[in-house]
Structure 1
């Protein structure tokens, strides 16, 4: 029994355990709070949906890691471990669904509807990381597709008796697909870790930078080898040299810091932009009923806030800091070679140039995202409090960038659990600050949207203060270092 309990925790990297567990706990607390403050008779379903998001995240980034253990067990011919993994998955699936169903059902919720909802969230999260990328990347657009198709084909919700007619078969079909995919990945002779045909879970054991599962942490040469020619970035080396040290340092830092042409930026962002390019015209056509221009503006604005606002800003900050962390932590000759670049000047000049190279490009990109978010909020006729919350979400991501970059350059990075907690809180606040204000728009606005928006603004004040203090501490440490290009000191108190 002990083996069944500890299997997913032993097979998951520490950073992912903290982030996945933190999101799950926060969503459970959010489900409890929504049940307390909601005056609707259907509050058990709302609480189940909030908890379901946490379960989906947990099954995507905690339970999916057991697939890697299953791969190793198959290669080492250890059938006992494979059986333990299967029993562990079944045990945690029951633990994820049954207690919450009993509690919410006791308060008036429909037992079967809540159980099916939670099961779909769990299985959907597992599907997100085990199915090929070209399938998994569309999962994020399912809510938008549901909204676009609601006047063409109605998908019954949990409050409708017809919900069981599609939810049950969908659950069985998705489970069957995952089982077949799991079997194929375990028994495959060659397992792809890159490309659209690979599964995200196959990258979980990578160790580069902070977290092993982030695409931002992949080795640059490995990433380029698996990209088709049309997605290869086009580098812009104009004005690179001693006359422009920050730009030269960007080339040396690599990753997304490398200067690119406009077409090069589009090619580099192709994996993220491709779903929007494909799905947005479809959404606009489906929503353009009697007021095509209104539907176009509304659909684009909602997609901008929901996709770019929530995912884009946070990933810009995290990717920038991950790139620097990789450069300053790898034991090779790359970092010492940076000190040999011509025209760097004295140590103080080097530090100023490095700060400009590390902070200016992502800060510029975040400023563009902030402007787009404000325009989208205005187009949706969002009230002033909501626009403040949306703006604070993007400013908060900028402060996260400031704190994380200076934490690396300061030479004494924070511990993994602190880092995971910081990122989790920022991403959660960003998601809520972009989503909650949109629930106050229209004739069927949520009653408590404005009150919760005010709470989010207050939370951002506290979070922003903490990020500023962390960034200021990193700045002081960076100024105290003898030279900019020194390895991270992981032995000092952090």
Structure 2
């Protein structure tokens, strides 16, 4: 049970001040890698805030961009690091350590001051943001990250499909009842005057949820989908101690329609590539016909909704803003899934002492080492190329429908190629016997994510086109880093006596 609680001597605790105890608990609540990654993400997002505030064509737009980017920087530690204080409180309650539990409110107050009040004051003084806007936006971001970490696991699956379902219902309602029957005014919903009320509501929800979990954590529900996500990370070690849920438990909990296990009908000695894909498992395993139709069905629904949105009022500012935001989120989110999913699976296999790689080494019919190496590369590369190629065709078609010009399409293609290089890099490292995600690799991924967001902003907003020189410089660095990394990993992979030896 005691996997998070630090070993703090009572005498040492008595000599420390309340702030020192709060800081010690905060450091002990999360692994070092979690703290380092959150810190790197915060620094990078704050740098983006400064860059956007400087490069924005209009000062008021620069202020909004700086506030949004700073809010994202605040949400990162409140979503991944600070909720682990709840684990400390649960263990303190179970271990009958009231002094540790009493320190946690002080730690939370210190965090709110350091991550909300101080950055809000800097935004007011340096960027010219309104005090109410800065304070409420950062508070809203902090509470949103905290609430998301304390939601039951099934909420994450529901949130993935919530935008698609809401958009479908909105379009159906407009087609049946008329275009003016259902009006979605996002500008009014997220008006700066509404942010304080939203922040207060989320703060009350976070306090209620925290208190409920702290009291009922020991009586965990039977289904893992009903557990809060912060409890599912309890004691988990993944990728060197990030504090994330175990990869095998996560995969076992996923429904087959969302994380299909594939089929083995075409595998055999006559088809070594398909056989290797089966042994490697999802997402490399070949899919059955029904699974392919299901995946295509989700993609077709999204495309049809996109097209239907533009057939209504293509010149609508609100609709065009939604579509541009959807393109940005789709490229960034889908790209990161493509980068992480395949390499993540290979890294899991690499770290298993007696797993699928050992099985591949024992099975006959692969030929010599060179032939086995080629088959393994094909088994890994083919699903990556199929997924990336299909996503590229859909994205470019949707961008054309959305009215993106030739220069914007070219920038999107540059971003897609950069994602492809990063995906190849993260997949080749485990095959070469290297860890997929050393600490410096997260910096490359975060830099790529920033470039994706910047590229979609330039591609979909013509008035931001003057920042092209920054995109050329940024993507050149990403391309160079991925290229050097691929060359080094490729040399290491070719030097291995056999591709399956660990």
User: What residue is the counterpart of 1:138 in the other structure?
Assistant: 159
User: What residue is the counterpart of 1:112 in the other structure?
Assistant: 132
Say whether residues 1:482 and 2:501 are aligned partners: no
Name the stretch that deviates more: 45-54 or 405-414: 405-414
Contact 1:15 1:420 (8 Å CA) reproduced: no
Name the stretch that deviates more: 342-351 or 297-306: 297-306
User: What residue is the counterpart of 1:51 in the other structure?
Assistant: 70
2:230 corresponds to which of 201, 212, 216: 201
3-state SS of paired residue (1:138): helix
* Cα 1:390/1:476, change in 2 over 3 Å: same
Rounded to whole Å, the distance in 2 between the matches of 1:39 and 1:76 is: 57
Q: How many residues align?
A: 468
Alignment of 1:220-231 (within 5 A): 223-224=251-252, 226-227=253-254
1:337-359 alpha-carbon deviations (Å, 9 max, x no partner): 21111211111111111111122
Contact 2:74 2:116 (8 Å CA) reproduced: no
Contact 2:261 2:282 (8 Å CA) reproduced: no
User: What residue is the counterpart of 2:49 in the other structure?
Assistant: 31
User: What residue is the counterpart of 2:149 in the other structure?
Assistant: 129
Rounded to whole Å, the distance in 1 between the matches of 2:293 and 2:217 is: 34
Rounded to whole Å, the distance in 2 between the matches of 1:298 and 1:450 is: 18
Rounded to whole Å, the distance in 1 between the matches of 2:55 and 2:230 is: 37
* Deviation at residue 30 of structure 1 after TM alignment: 1.8
Say whether residues 1:68 and 2:87 are aligned partners: yes
* Deviation at residue 207 of structure 1 after TM alignment: 2.2
Task: In structure 2, list runs of 5 or more residues that go unmatched.
Answer: 1-18, 172-179
Two-structure CA RMSD over aligned residues (Å): 3.8
Alignment of 1:218-367 (within 5 A): 218-219=247-248, 223-224=251-252, 226-227=253-254, 233=260, 235-265=262-292, 291=313, 302=324, 305-367=327-389
* Deviation at residue 481 of structure 1 after TM alignment: 0.7
User: What residue is the counterpart of 1:444 in the other structure?
Assistant: none
1:223-274 alpha-carbon deviations (Å, 9 max, x no partner): 33x455765736322320111112111111123212112432566899xx69
1:314-353 alpha-carbon deviations (Å, 9 max, x no partner): 2122111111111111222543221111211111111111
Task: In structure 1, list runs of 5 or more residues that go unmatched.
Answer: 441-446, 488-494
Alignment of 1:164-183 (within 5 A): 164=193, 166-183=194-211
User: What residue is the counterpart of 1:18 in the other structure?
Assistant: 36
3-state SS of paired residue (1:381): coil
TM-score normalised according to structure 2 size:
0.81
Rounded to whole Å, the distance in 1 between the matches of 2:434 and 2:228 is: 34
3-state SS of paired residue (2:500): coil
Name the stretch that deviates more: 191-200 or 240-249: 191-200
1:458 corresponds to which of 473, 477, 480: 473
1:379 corresponds to which of 391, 401, 416: 401
Contact 1:24 1:55 (8 Å CA) reproduced: yes
User: What residue is the counterpart of 2:10 in the other structure?
Assistant: none
* Cα 1:94/1:193, change in 2 over 3 Å: farther
Rounded to whole Å, the distance in 2 between the matches of 1:144 and 1:333 is: 39
* Cα 1:309/1:210, change in 2 over 3 Å: farther
Rounded to whole Å, the distance in 2 between the matches of 1:294 and 1:38 is: 23
Rounded to whole Å, the distance in 1 between the matches of 2:413 and 2:436 is: 27
User: What residue is the counterpart of 2:217 in the other structure?
Assistant: 188
3-state SS of paired residue (2:363): coil
* Deviation at residue 104 of structure 1 after TM alignment: 2.4
Rounded to whole Å, the distance in 2 between the matches of 1:410 and 1:298 is: 44
1:258-292 alpha-carbon deviations (Å, 9 max, x no partner): 2112432566899xx69x969996x988x679638
* Deviation at residue 425 of structure 1 after TM alignment: 1.8
Rounded to whole Å, the distance in 2 between the matches of 1:202 and 1:103 is: 34
1:433-457 alpha-carbon deviations (Å, 9 max, x no partner): 23442233xxxxxx4x112344223
1:439 corresponds to which of 433, 454, 461: 461
* Cα 1:84/1:316, change in 2 over 3 Å: same
* Cα 1:97/1:316, change in 2 over 3 Å: same
Contact 1:209 1:329 (8 Å CA) reproduced: no
Rounded to whole Å, the distance in 1 between the matches of 2:224 and 2:491 is: 41
Contact 1:65 1:201 (8 Å CA) reproduced: yes
User: What residue is the counterpart of 2:4 in the other structure?
Assistant: none
